Amino acid sequence: MIEIDLSGRVALVTGGSRGLGRADALTLGRAGADVVIADIQVESDSGEDAERFGPMAQAARAQGLVYSEATAREISELGRRSAAIKCDVTDREQVAETVQRVVEEFGAVDILVNNAGTLDHLGQLSDQVPELWERDLRVNLTGSFNCAQAVWPHMKERGWGRIVNMASVAGTLGGFGQASYSATKAGLLGLTRTLALEGARHGITCNAIVPGVIGTEAFEFGNPKMNERMVQRTAMRRAGEPQDVANAIAFLCSDLASYITGVGLNVSGGIELFTF
């Protein structure tokens, strides 16, 4: 029986307070990795700055959907080392400090899961807000670049690394009313392939997950009629679970996937197929 074993590895998961990031962090911990969760929100923080991160962050804080420290505790209960660190991926100084702290306290950063992202800027082109377009670029695309660049020298030094970027079918198919989101997720696929090329000779792989409709808290915040339309557009006629994405990430981070790099892996239930 083939098992995913990440024992001795240290993972950094951004945007791990809920949804896909939380599932990713827990799954990597169950596979044996020590896991650090980096998120703009942690429970012990006052949350006074939540409004500057957008309506989804505000709603999560208001509804008690922030689980950064709780997730770290769950991973610790598995016998792994874990911590939750408040970090804004758009702030290069914070990112550098977070990575340095992880290296000092945990000994390495072997795995980076770039999960932090925004998904609350909706509107057709004429209604897209320039300030939110810029924010989405900073978070979804530049944030992943910042984190990858910060861990890169540590991975090169050790001759081993796994980077997984969270793209989306919106980046491969387009998304009606999602110009900024789609553009940033498409950009992540280009970044993924470039990092795969540059990292290959240093034992570093870089792949992207391309999720479809996944039943996270963000999905539940969405318009029910639109959600149902997207589910019916999916070949499997159901939303996926965060665990479906987490399982794929754990595989890509393991030695079982040592010869896989530069891939955009659909975890989508077939939404990209010609479904009728």
How far is residue 172's CA from residue 169's CA, in Å, rounded to a whole number? 5
Please name which of 65, 64, 83 lies closest in space to residue 73, comparing C-alpha atoms.
83
Element (H, E) at 30: helix 19-30
Q: Per-residue b/e over 88-125, b at no fewer than 16 CB within 10 Å?
A: bbbebebbeebbeebbeebebbbbbbbbbbbbbbbeee
67 included as an active-site residue: no
Identified catalytic residue from 116, 181, 257, 268: 181
Question: Strand, coil or helix: what is 256?
Answer: helix
Which residues are CB-neighbours of 67 under 8 A, at least 6 positions away?
A: 17, 18, 22, 43
Q: How many residues does the structure list for the chain?
A: 276
Q: Which residues are catalytic?
A: 181
